[in-house]
Amino acid sequence: MSSNTMILRFKNVSFKHTTGVVTLDDTSFSLREGAKVALMGQNGAGKSTLFGLIMGTLTPSSGGVFVENGTRIALARQVMPRECFSLTVEDFLAQHFPGKDYDLKRKIAEVFEIVHLDIPIEKKIENFSGGQQARILLASALIQDPDILLLDEPTNNLDTEGIGNLMTFLMMYEKTCIVISHDADFLNTFTEGVLYLDIHTHTIEQYQGDYYDVVEEISARIEKEKMKNAQFERKIRENKEKINYFQNKGGKMRLLAKKMRDEVAEMEASKVDVRKDDKVIRAFSIPEQEDLQGDILTISEVSLMQNHQETSFPIQIVLRKNKHLLLKGPNGIGKTTLLERLASGHAQGESVLEGTRIGYYRQDFSTLDFESTVYKTLMGVMQIQDEEEMRSVASGFLLTSENIYAKIGSLSEGQKGLVAFAQLVLLKPGLLILDEPTNHINFRHIPRIASALDAYKGAMVLVSHDSEFVRTIRIDEELDLLSIKPSIKK
């Protein structure tokens, strides 16, 4: 295909879910072969739904999705499907490999080199960290040698090295690529356009340039539209005042009043719909459990992965109220495993003060019951169930009457993250454990999340590869798992 080939085209596409929720309404756009664009929009706008329409796993309610004949499309999902956890890495990749069985291992080695992954493929996926699983998902797409590569939040769970490697690969990638990401700096390194899914109009706006160019263009347009509307409003107000005066005078004055009413109607019709900015969660705080005294968390031993084997090391970490610990280390070293043990409250090498309520934010949201509704999930964590308080907190996280009775499993990953934060607010924990809390979250929300964590007065353990996010949070102590390995090995 030449670079002028139109590889993908949406023509007057509308899509409505079986629940009645509209994602797209008579929207059209097209992409040429080799284009690299970002797909952006608010959490819950329907970005993953759009990928489903491109893949053909979803069918438009009306309109058409047209893909150039012979085009191969592959999707790297943002989270590993739970039903795949019991598969070995080799078996999982075999499901996506279109070639011959005898060529599978050679191809796995090739894509592992691209995604910088060195793991035993005979091990089950459940044995690997979120960052390693993210690289496996990317490998599952690349092994298909696609003409259109769809990436859904590819930087989630990746450490700094992993993100850098992915940036380098995508800058050199010559085929068509559409990326969903809330990481503007990551997108700006390789994208040349933006598809913006407007949650309010259910249409796709197509822009040239990087994300910052788009933000500037949208802001300028909004200001221009506001100014134009302000001029209309002023003229409408002036004319209405004159109409009220003239219509009572009779004769020619009444005819003039009628003419002015027609002009007012024209100006009302000419006012433009100013594009609504994405909603941002309200500023919030996470109340700490007040009835705790003394050492809330003690860690005397950590287990780390060395050459795919678990090794234990002695250590001494004590957290009391208002102490924040940052846990650092590369993908696969054992950070998530340590957090899981801390969250259990009674693992070997760790102890949590009896009676402590633990708020655990898991990067895969496995602490949430996907079959439960948002309403039951939030009410269920409250010490004293108060529906009015629950609804007030929920609305602050954009969980309103539109989705409060929806099942957790039906929400977007970003919305699941907002449910998890609402849970923490209502739980009022004494110990807060956070595993990559910016994953899946709209970047507009992140400053408010950082502010809440910075002000949290309980004990907190944080894992995050988002260095900008971490810089805005008070950290009292750091534990770099990589640095302790050579010095305190038993």
In terms of CATH, what superfamily is 297-484? P-loop containing nucleotide triphosphate hydrolases (3.40.50.300)
Domain 6-214 has CATH 1.10.580.10: no
- The span from the first CA to the last CA of the chain, in angstroms, equals 59
Tell me whether strands 36-40 and 309-319 are parallel, antiparallel or unpaired. unpaired
pLDDT digits (tens, 9 = 90+) for 422-463: 999 999 999 999 999 998 888 789 999 999 999 999 999 999
Residue 105, pLDDT above cutoff 70: yes
Cα–Cα distance measured from residue 367 to residue 417, given in angstroms and rounded to the nearest whole number: 11
Give me 417's structure tokens.
Answer: 């993250």
Q: What is the mean pLDDT of the chain?
A: 85
Q: Do domains 6-214 and 297-484 have the same CATH topology?
A: yes
Global pTM value: 0.69
- Tell me the one-letter amino acid at 408: I
pLDDT digits (tens, 9 = 90+) for 338-386: 888 888 865 556 788 999 999 999 988 888 999 999 999 999 999 999 9
DSSP structural state of residue 167: H
Residue that wins the pLDDT comparison between 313 and 180: 180
Residue 419, pLDDT above cutoff 90: yes
- Tell me the one-letter amino acid at 172: M
Question: CA nearest 351: which of 292, 302, 299, 304?
Answer: 299
Question: What phi-psi label fits residue 74: left (phi over 0), alpha (psi between -120 and 50 degrees) or beta?
Answer: beta
DSSP structural state of residue 119: -
> How much is the average pLDDT of 2-12?
84
Residue 217, pLDDT above cutoff 80: no
- Local confidence band at 197 (pLDDT 50, 70, 90 cut-offs): confident
Domain chopping of the chain, boundaries: 6-214, 297-484
**Percentage of the chain with pLDDT > 70?**
87
Nearest-10 crossing angle of helices 130-142, 160-172: 10
The number of CA neighbours under 13 Å toward the Cβ of 252 is 0
By CB neighbour count within 10 A (0-12 exposed, 13-18 middle, 19+ buried), where does 100 fall?
exposed
In whole angstroms, how far apart are CA 298 and each of 335, 348, 489? Answer: 16, 11, 19
Residue 335, pLDDT above cutoff 90: no
List Cβ neighbours of 378 (8 Å cut-off, separation of 6 or more). 390, 393, 394, 399, 419, 422, 423, 426
pLDDT digits (tens, 9 = 90+) for 239-278: 776 666 666 666 666 677 677 677 767 666 655 554 555 6
Cα–Cα distance measured from residue 387 to residue 391, given in angstroms and rounded to the nearest whole number: 6
